[in-house]
Amino acid sequence: MARPHVVVIGSGFGGLFAAQALAKSEVDVTLVSRTVAHLFQPLLYQVATGILSTGEIAPATRDILRNQPNATVLLAEVTRINLDSRVVVAEKLSKTIALKYDYLVVAAGAGQSYFGNDQFATFAPGMKTIDDALELRARIFGSLEMAELSEDADERRRLLTYVVVGAGPTGVEMAGQIAELTHHTLRRSFRRIDTTTARVLLLDGADAVLPPFGPELSAAARAELERNGVEVLLGALVTNVDATGLDVKFSDGRTERISAGCKVWAAGVQASPLGRTLAEQSGAGIDRAGRVEVNDDLTLPGRPEVFVVGDMISLNGLPGVAQVAIQGGRYAASKIAGEVTGHPVTTPFRYHDKGSMAVISRFGAVAKVGRLRLTGFVAWSAWLFVHLLYLVGFKNRVTTLLHWFITFVGRGRSERVTTEQQLVGRLAVKQLGPEFQPTIGGTLEPGKIKH
Ligand SMILES: Cc1cc2nc3c(=O)[nH]c(=O)nc-3n(C[C@H](O)[C@H](O)[C@H](O)COP(=O)(O)OP(=O)(O)OC[C@H]3O[C@@H](n4cnc5c(N)ncnc54)[C@H](O)[C@@H]3O)c2cc1C
């Protein structure tokens, strides 16, 4: 008899951990993802600011699963799911494949949300993918290069102004690193500009940084950011972003134009559009961020064979964090394994909150673990340990530790290469329009419409 076929969509935390948890089950697993790697998103900002290389935070999924004989990895984007016929359709360049499943685990994650202002993305990239991080690296270092070339004092000031929108962990970490970079690391690298005069602004519409960490850690994080030269502007709603800066409306009614060379968008997420497809076909609800309201065992209503995990789910207010995806992926795998062996798992999904952390500066972080509230070096050490633990691969851990040593002890950055493709690639592809599609040969073929 044929073994049950489990299709897993996504190679992020949810997808990878689900596939790995099925290693010893009598099933065949096909993991289909539009990216070749398992991306450790929490360290994207370190790629953007020249600390780590892409390989360290994004090892190839094919490599991670090479010793798991029941797992097959396919590089393709899922464009359709038919719940009635139990088929997933995925495409890559001119190839289309259909995968029939007995069980489906959907872990396609979330993208950036500009809250209905997608035009902002042209000038303020988000931080969700390796492409985003490399583009931001080119913009962060590129702004300094342009300032060094400029003869105009106003222009220099603008190019030396960095704005990070969104004071969640990503925004806080990003702003902290840009300040460290400009105020310390690069201060002797330029001759015509003084990088220590760079302004680094962190904006948020809310009235606190890191609100989910609670008032005590939030205040500590803000104080540490300001001590390191980050200007924190709260109650600040961004109303427009363009090539030369952004417009802000404050909660007291004031408006301000901020001229800035480099803008980073770290606010808001929108779940994968696959969520809507699933909701429409199953009758599940969907929230404003496009997350699917799943049953308490992570299945869709009336579809016990379909699991949705990670950033795509709306369940009991669970946050969009790596642990929710990891534990969800493993839970879905345990349900499938239980059914296959005739020992069904009947308990609902229970999330164990292992805490949250954010790095603010060199040797400074905040961490919330159970009732414990940690700040400073202790929190930073905990952060270092946890992130090393969850990085996939021994080699990655060793080289990451080396890079952290270079950065945190020596204040150096060894990953500073930027290319023009990184800088303009996203916008250039967008301008080419949907009728262009790259071929493996590296040329652009007109007339091949990507659906
Ligand atoms: C910059 C940043 C910093 C973060 N920091 C932290 C942190 O400090 N701590 C923490 O706990 N969490 C953090 N998070 C959140 C955490 O990374 C996510 O909660 C987690 O990655 C969610 O896992 P997931 O499997 O649901 O989705 P993801 O990890 O996003 O994986 C989604 C996968 O699906 C694939 N995919 C998407 N669409 C398709 C499609 N149509 N077809 C095929 N494949 C598809 C993608 O290529 C990817 O492999 C951070 C996130 C970001 C962006």
Same domain, 130 and 263: yes
Which of the listed residues 7, 40, 41, 298 should we mutate to test ligand 1's pocket, taking the one with most ligand atoms within 8 A of CB?
Answer: 41
If you average pLDDT over every residue of the chain, what do you get? Answer: 94
Nearest-CA residue for ligand 1 atom 44 is 33
Cβ atoms of 51 and 7 within 8 Å: the answer is no
Could you tell me the residue range of the domain that residue 380 belongs to?
118-267+355-418
Residue 178 CB–ligand 1 contact under 6 Å: no
Residue 451 has pLDDT above 50, yes or no: no
Cβ atoms of 230 and 179 within 8 Å: the answer is yes
Same domain, 360 and 444: no
Which residues are paired to 106 by β-bridges?
Answer: 9, 308
Residue 450 has pLDDT above 80, yes or no: no
Banded model confidence at residue 440, pLDDT cuts 50, 70, 90: low
Rounded distance from Cα 169 to ligand 1 centre (Å)? 14
E-state strands within 93-186: 95-100, 103-106, 110-112, 161-165
pLDDT tens digits, one per residue of 126-180: 999 999 999 999 999 999 999 999 999 999 999 999 999 999 999 999 999 999 9
Same domain, 331 and 402: no
Cβ atoms of 138 and 146 within 8 Å: the answer is no
Residue 221 corresponds to which tokens in the numbers above? 């994080």
Does the residue 180 lie in any domain?
A: yes
Nearest-CA residue for ligand 1 atom 38 is 108
pLDDT tens digits, one per residue of 55-88: 999 999 999 999 999 999 999 999 999 999 999 9
pLDDT of residue 362: 87
Same domain, 177 and 316: no
Mean of pLDDT values over 99-108: 98
Nearest-CA residue for ligand 1 atom 50 is 42
**Does residue 135 carry a catalytic annotation?**
no
416 alpha-carbon distance from chain centroid: 20
Q: What's the whole-model pTM score? A: 0.94
pLDDT tens digits, one per residue of 334-387: 999 999 999 999 999 999 999 999 999 889 999 999 889 999 999 999 999 989
Does the residue 62 lie in any domain?
A: no
Residue 41 CB–ligand 1 contact under 6 Å: yes
CATH of the domain at 275: 3.50.50.60
Residue 444 has pLDDT above 60, yes or no: no
pLDDT tens digits, one per residue of 279-289: 999 999 999 99
pLDDT of residue 140: 97
pLDDT of residue 408: 86
| DSSP per-residue letters across 308-366 | E-GGGEESTT--S-HHHHHHHHHHHHHHHHHHHHT----SPP------EEEEEETTEEE
With vertex at residue 216, the alpha carbon angle to CA 211 and CA 222, rounded to the nearest 5 degrees, is: 65
Rounded distance from Cα 15 to ligand 1 centre (Å)? 10
Residue 256 has pLDDT above 60, yes or no: yes
Nearest-CA residue for ligand 1 atom 39 is 108
Classify the phi-psi angles of 166: left when phi > 0, otherwise alpha if psi is within -120 to 50, otherwise beta: left
Helical ranges in 365-419 per DSSP H: 376-390, 394-404
Rounded distance from Cα 379 to ligand 1 centre (Å)? 24
Residue 328 corresponds to which tokens in the numbers above? 């969800």
Residue 268 CB–ligand 1 contact under 6 Å: no
Residue 304 CB–ligand 1 contact under 6 Å: no
Nearest-CA residue for ligand 1 atom 35 is 10
Same domain, 10 and 106: yes
Rounded distance from Cα 329 to ligand 1 centre (Å)? 12
- Of the listed ranges 223-227, 325-329, 423-427, the least confidently predicted one is 423-427
Provide the percentage of residues in the chain whose pLDDT is more than 70: 97
Same domain, 23 and 83: yes
Rounded distance from Cα 173 to ligand 1 centre (Å)? 17
Please report the atom of ligand 1 found closest to the CA of residue 129: 53
pLDDT of residue 64: 96
CATH of the domain at 243: 3.50.50.100
pLDDT of residue 441: 54
Provide the percentage of residues in the chain whose pLDDT is more than 90: 83
Residue 177 CB–ligand 1 contact under 6 Å: no
Same domain, 260 and 295: no
What are residue 167's phi and psi, to 5 degrees?
Answer: -105, 40
Banded model confidence at residue 390, pLDDT cuts 50, 70, 90: confident
Q: Point out the catalytic residue in the list 56, 173, 224, 415.
A: 173
pLDDT of residue 433: 81
Total residue count of the chain as it appears in this document: 451
132 alpha-carbon distance from chain centroid: 9
Residue 108 CB–ligand 1 contact under 6 Å: yes
Classify the phi-psi angles of 226: left when phi > 0, otherwise alpha if psi is within -120 to 50, otherwise beta: alpha
Rounded distance from Cα 183 to ligand 1 centre (Å)? 31
Residue 384 CB–ligand 1 contact under 6 Å: no
Cβ atoms < 10 Å from Cβ of 335: 23
Same domain, 259 and 215: yes
Rounded CA gap, 367 and 380, in Å?
Answer: 8
Does the residue 45 lie in any domain?
A: no
DSSP tag of 286: B
Same domain, 298 and 439: yes
Residue 410 has pLDDT above 60, yes or no: yes
Mean of pLDDT values over 306-332: 97
